[in-house]
Amino acid sequence: MKIPTKFVKSLSPKEENELTQLMGEYPTRREWIRAHSIKLSAKGYSIDQIADIHEVDRDTVAIWLNAWEESGSEGLKDNPKSGRPRKLNNQEQELARSLVEKEPRSLKRAANEVERRTGKKN
């Protein structure tokens, strides 16, 4: 399905500043590319040109433009990822780090020591 040529509306100074600030905060690479794409669109670059610059599909660029129009810079941020919960809490992770720093060649020994001290299997 082809998406018609589309551009974001001209950016206000506040929006321009917001995008520049977002790009400067060293977000994920994906967030930086999305913000940059909005700035390029506002300068008149087509969806196809932006897709070529960032080596993504034109439909992806259109999704970014829509997200910007609907939610502003919040629409450009990555959604939280689900995943397996951590096995170790912060204190247990620090213990594991310190054991590995003492003997970096012996990860199995460090894992066994963490298990012994915390009672949690690795």
Query: pLDDT (tens digit, 9 = 90+) per residue, 93-104?
Result: 888 888 888 887
Q: State the average pLDDT over residues 89-113.
A: 83
pLDDT at 1: 45
pTM as predicted: 0.59
Would you say residue 110 has pLDDT above 60?
Answer: yes
Phi/psi at 86 (nearest 5 deg)?
-65, 145
pLDDT at 57: 94
For residue 5, what pLDDT band results from cuts at 50, 70 and 90?
A: low
The rounded percent of the chain whose pLDDT value lies above 70 is 93
Assigned token pair, 19: 């995008």
Would you say residue 75 has pLDDT above 70?
Answer: yes
Mean pLDDT across the chain: 84
Question: To 5 degrees, how large is the angle CA 92–CA 98–CA 104?
Answer: 125
DSSP string covering 4-66: PP--PPPPPHHHHHHHHHHHHT---HHHHHHHHHHHHHHTT--HHHHHHHHT--HHHHHHHHH
